[in-house]
């Protein structure tokens, strides 16, 4: 973008920005003609990703700020009223997490929506994302929104939108919101909250009680009692998770330094339980108290991470490992029907398919993003089937039809129940996982991300994907390739040349399915300048072979497989 265009965008921003601080910051950039700063803040405009937008807080179109919240809220008001019957009667539900600007942003959104004639149920406390997702259909609302940046760094914030079903918005709703934003260039000046009367009202007093009653009904081991070490990682999961576990009779101790909501996340550099070191505190607490399981949520409590005791101390499970443990337990512990459905994503473990088949239920894969799991679950139920469980490898899980998004609160309850159930039988989560590997094959996965920033990086990513699409390797790392899937073209080509259509939305993904069940998937990140490689090796484990030695062998195959696919893509 040329400097003069940047200056014009910044001058237009100063006219419409309602926040004196961010308005002054942009004016200062213009006064000193800081083109580099203007480019950083105005060369792009935040767009909708997974059901909403997210970015660093600051001035300009490339940042999250009050103007962006007003902007997206006005567009959402237009789309909701155009698409949802009786939207003006049903209203919109709003919530926020504990980040620094979250409540102020939520109040700004409430002002816009109410000024547009939509009643707003505005939470009076910071809450987890899954509770907002649940509250939308529970209140019969037309839509919902929550101000959150989930597990992003402290400097970030965002706005995530849910439709009347309680699931995140998908196309064409998200593209319509984006289009309505593009049509609005002028100031958005809603009245203050006090002037809107009962158009903005608090959540009903009994709403959280109803949520907790419904997640308690998900339990398949109501007799279980476990010793649990827990951390909300300075997020909003603390109160609801402690309540859920205490109601169920579990003994819970919380990492004191991380117990209270704090948007600065003082004890962790990056508040994501998947990041190295983030679970060190809860693991130390678990070891000290002799816990059956250690549990962590991310800051908005839609994700759940777990560490389990074993022969060598506590081990943090991968998202795939916890997913297959929960799938198998839920299917084994309650009656199943042939139309029961388990859903996972294309980059999550293929072991789920084998477990679902062993229990005689249906299995489906969807694109990455929990909105696709919820969308399929709703369609399956509309056709008369029953959705049992969905998960993605990035530690997101949802059981049954209570929450139409990933829910770290109910997942924590189910994990504690399973740990307590096994402990009462003299078993462990580690032992149960090993038994699944013996039964269904050892599945060892890995993700590799290559960061390639800038225009040159984008060109390298595009070239790598083009090379992969053009290739038809007979083998990778010495293992025969059974099929290649190009999700952009929605085509699968088998080793014998036979082609099939893929029943998935188009997406920039190339996958190599190996004859032994192993697989490799490659895709660019939708939010960062990265190309991501997902690998999984499947090995049968004879009774006379230890799982440790089988895993070591599988890791060596992963190394060779990773090197082979990167070479095929022309990447280092």
- Give alpha helix (H) positions in 304-428: 319-333, 351-358, 370-382, 408-424
* Higher per-residue confidence, 528 vs 468: 468
**Predicted local distance difference test score (pLDDT) of residue 51:** 67
* Higher per-residue confidence, 527 vs 438: 438
Tokens of 277: 């070191």
**Predicted local distance difference test score (pLDDT) of residue 454:** 85
| CA 59 to each of CA 32, 69, 181, 266: distance values in angstroms, whole numbers, following the listed order | 16, 12, 17, 24
How far is it, in rounded angstroms, from Cα 243 to Cα 252?
Answer: 10
Verdict on whether the full-model pTM lies above 0.85 = yes
Among the listed residues 435, 392, 442, 434, the one whose alpha carbon sits nearest the alpha carbon of residue 555: 442
Omega before residue 172 within 30° of 0, cis: yes
Q: What digits encode the pLDDT tens for the residues 291-331?
A: 999 999 999 999 999 999 998 899 999 999 999 999 999 99
As a whole-number percent, the residues of the chain with pLDDT over 70 amount to 99
- Of 73, 102, 109, 150, the active-site residue reads 150
Q: Please, which pLDDT band fits residue 24 given cuts at 50, 70 and 90?
A: very high
Mean pLDDT of 227-243: 98
DSSP string, 227-254: EEEEE-TTSS-HHHHHHHHHHTT-EEEE
Q: What digits encode the pLDDT tens for the residues 539-568?
A: 999 999 999 999 999 999 999 999 999 999
DSSP string, 265-304: -TT-SS--TTSTTTTHHHHHHHHHHT-SEEEEE-TTSSBE
Edge-to-edge strand list for the sheet holding 227-231: 251-254, 227-231, 293-297, 304-310, 313-316
Full set of structural domains in the chain with CATH: 44-208 (3.40.120.10), 210-216+224-317 (3.40.120.10), 320-439 (3.40.120.10), 441-569 (3.30.310.50)
How far is it, in rounded angstroms, from Cα 390 to Cα 370?
Answer: 8
Contact (Cβ atoms closer than 8 angstroms) between residue 442 and residue 550: yes
Residue 150 known to be catalytic:
yes
Among the listed residues 433, 220, 423, 415, the one whose alpha carbon sits nearest the alpha carbon of residue 324: 433
Q: What digits encode the pLDDT tens for the residues 468-491?
A: 999 999 999 999 999 999 999 999
**Predicted local distance difference test score (pLDDT) of residue 529:** 85
């Amino acid at each position: 973008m040329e400097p003069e265009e940047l200056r014009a965008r910044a001058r237009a921003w100063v006219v419409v920005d309602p926040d004196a601080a961010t308005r002054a910051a942009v004016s200062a950039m213009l006064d000193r003609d800081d083109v580099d700063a203007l480019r950083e803040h105005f060369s792009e405009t935040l767009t909708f990703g997974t059901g909403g937008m997210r970015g660093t807080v600051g001035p300009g179109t490339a940042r999250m700020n009050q103007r962006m919240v007003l902007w997206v809220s006005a567009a959402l008001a237009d789309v909701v009223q155009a698409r949802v019957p009786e939207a003006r009667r049903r209203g919109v539900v709003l919530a926020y997490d504990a980040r620094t600007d979250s409540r102020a942003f939520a109040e700004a959104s409430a002002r816009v929506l109410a000024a547009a004639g939509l009643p707003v149920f505005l939470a009076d406390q910071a809450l987890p994302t899954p509770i907002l997702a649940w509250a939308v259909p529970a209140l019969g609302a037309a839509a919902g929104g929550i101000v959150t940046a989930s597990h992003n760094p402290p400097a970030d914030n965002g706005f995530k939108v849910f439709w009347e079903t309680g699931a995140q918005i998908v196309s064409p709703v998200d593209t319509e919101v984006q289009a309505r934003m593009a049509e609005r260039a002028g100031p958005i000046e809603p009245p203050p909250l006090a002037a809107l009367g009962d158009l903005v009202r608090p959540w009903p007093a009994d709403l959280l009680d109803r949520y907790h009653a419904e997640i308690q009904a998900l339990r398949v081991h109501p007799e279980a009692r476990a010793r649990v070490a827990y951390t909300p990682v300075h997020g909003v999961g603390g109160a609801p998770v402690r309540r859920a576990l205490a109601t169920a009779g579990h003994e819970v101790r919380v990492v004191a330094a991380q117990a209270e909501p704090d948007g600065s996340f003082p004890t962790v550099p990056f508040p994501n339980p998947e990041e190295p070191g983030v679970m060190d505190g809860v693991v130390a607490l678990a070891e000290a108290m002799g816990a059956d399981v250690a549990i962590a949520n991310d800051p908005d409590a839609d994700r759940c991470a777990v560490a389990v005791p074993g022969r060598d101390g506590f081990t943090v499970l991968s998202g795939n490992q916890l997913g297959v443990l929960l799938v198998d337990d839920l299917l084994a512990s309650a009656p199943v029907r042939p139309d029961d459905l388990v859903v996972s994503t294309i980059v999550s473990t293929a072991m789920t398919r084998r477990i679902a088949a062993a229990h005689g239920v249906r299995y489906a894969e969807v694109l990455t993003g929990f909105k696709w799991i919820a969308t399929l679950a709703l369609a399956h139920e509309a056709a008369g089937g029953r959705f049992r469980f969905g998960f993605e490898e990035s530690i997101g899980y949802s059981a049954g039809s209570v929450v139409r998004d990933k829910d770290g609160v109910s997942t924590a309850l189910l994990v504690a129940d399973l740990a307590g159930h096994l402990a009462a039988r003299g078993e462990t989560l580690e032992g149960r996982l090993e038994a699944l590997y013996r039964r269904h094959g050892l599945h060892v996965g890995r993700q590799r991300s290559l960061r390639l920033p800038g225009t040159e990086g984008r060109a390298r990513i595009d070239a790598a994907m083009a090379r992969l699409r053009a290739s038809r390797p007979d083998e990778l790392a010495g293992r025969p390739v059974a099929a290649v899937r190009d999700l952009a073209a929605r085509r699968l080509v088998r080793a014998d040349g036979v082609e099939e259509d893929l029943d998935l939305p188009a997406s920039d993904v190339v996958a190599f399915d190996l004859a032994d069940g192993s697989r490799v998937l490659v895709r660019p990140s939708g939010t960062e300048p990265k190309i991501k490689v997902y690998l999984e090796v499947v090995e049968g484990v004879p009774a006379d072979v230890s799982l440790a030695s089988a895993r070591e062998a599988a890791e060596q195959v992963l190394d060779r497989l990773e090197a082979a696919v990167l070479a095929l893509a022309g990447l280092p």
